[in-house]
Amino acid sequence: MDALPESCVSSILSFTSPAETCRLSLVCSTFLSAAESDVTWARFLPPDHVGIVSCSAASVKFSSKKELFLRLCDRPLLTHGGRKSFKLERSSGTVSYILSARELSIKWSDDPTRWIWKTQPESRFKEVAELRSNDRIEIEGRIETKDLSRNTLYGAHLIFKVSDRAFGLDLMPSETSVEMGNRVRPGTARLQRPDQRKRRLESLLYANRSEMLRKHWETEGDRRGGGAPDEREDGWMEVELGEFLIGSGGEGDGELKMSLKQVKGYQLKGGLVVEGVEVRPKNLVH
């Protein structure tokens, strides 16, 4: 192996993965040197990484492609005026994005009687959106598939919190979907785990109508596999909006739409705090 030119070894390593390159660097001195080269690590960075870094809200300093790669894995970049967060997955180099609430289309979010925009100390973004009171929730995010990694199964996740004064969110599941071209994957998700005490209070207010809606949606949710929210490592909650596969070629590039809606039942609801929508490779823990 030591007889191979370092440039040749660098090219070979660039067709593996970041994790495999780190393991192979232990084989011999030639591999160790090649595993540090810009030729190798440039292939692990997105093709448009120069443009991504230039859109960063803060200056990004690095002395090598490997240093830049590790920087993008360990410290997500805020880009596009702080409205998006960009990150790489360390073992494979696959791309993840979080679209902030300001980057989403939230119906009636410009009406301060229904939604308010506020700062949240634990949020990675400048602002989050909180539902004050409305009978409908309609949230949609969009991203270009060319900005994501090839040959990767992705999941889209709504990132949110539920305030202490929330109401009406656990009455029925929300309808979710991911849409790419003419392919639509519908589903359901719950924004809140059932609270029996609150349900008893709601039943006093809404009586039979509330119970009828709940029974209908519990049956519908069971049939369609409505998911409960999960707690993230960053302290927020998330529900999956759906999954989609990015293929190997660019012929299918286009816009991906992700949505969550709660438009049936006409019950008032409030206390939903939306940070954004994350698009990340499946099987990653956040």
pLDDT tens-place values along the chain, 286 residues long: 556 666 676 777 776 778 777 776 666 776 667 777 888 888 889 988 889 998 887 888 888 998 999 999 999 999 999 999 999 998 889 999 999 999 999 999 999 999 999 999 999 999 999 999 999 999 999 999 999 999 999 999 999 999 999 999 988 889 999 999 889 999 999 998 665 455 555 555 555 555 555 554 555 444 444 578 999 999 999 999 999 999 876 555 799 999 999 998 778 999 999 999 999 999 655 5
Q: How many CB atoms lie within 10 A of CB 286?
A: 15
Report residue 277 as tokens.
Answer: 């929508």
Angle, CA 28 vertex, CA 26 and CA 33 arms, to 5°: 85
pTM to 2 decimals? Answer: 0.83
List residues bridging with 230 in a β-sheet: 238
Neighbour count for residue 224 (Cβ, 10 Å)? 16
Tokens representing 117 are 């925009």
Give the integer Cα–Cα distance in Å for 271 and 133.
8
Query: Contact at 8 Å (CB) between 93 and 44?
Result: yes
